[in-house]
Amino acid sequence: MAFEKVLIANNTSVVQDDVLAQRIGLIPIAADPRLFEYLSVLSDQLIWLPNGSELVKESGGETSKPKTYTSFSRRQDSFPEFADSP
């Protein structure tokens, strides 16, 4: 177990906030992992994307290049234009 999110309110040291947060994230925590809740995804909930995380949207004209979006979200319906067609 380790820290996942670190919020630094007032850092007056010479160590930068991002370096300090990264170092705190490396500290191991002696805890029983069975006491924590984890996010799980069932295999029947996964959707195959042929281009990986790239979502292609057709543009208006035939000569124009289609727009490509990269999704860092778990769900494709977070993009309103892709909500109906995964």
Q: Specify burial of residue 20 (Cβ count, 10 A radius: 0-12, 13-18, 19+).
A: middle
- φ, ψ dihedrals at 85, nearest 5°: -130, 100
Query: What radius of gyration, in Å, describes the C-alpha atoms of the chain?
Result: 20
pLDDT score for 43: 73
Q: What distance in Å separates the CA atoms of residue 67 and residue 56, rounded to the nearest whole number?
A: 6
Instruction: Tell me what pLDDT residue 36 has.
Output: 82
pLDDT band with cut points at 50, 70 and 90 for residue 3: confident
* The amino acid at 27: I
> Is residue 12 domain-shared with residue 27, that is, in the same domain?
yes
Considering the domain architecture, whether residues 18 and 34 belong to the same structural domain is answered as: yes
Range of the domain at 64: 43-82
Domain count, the chain: 2
pTM of the model: 0.38
Average pLDDT over residues 15-24: 89
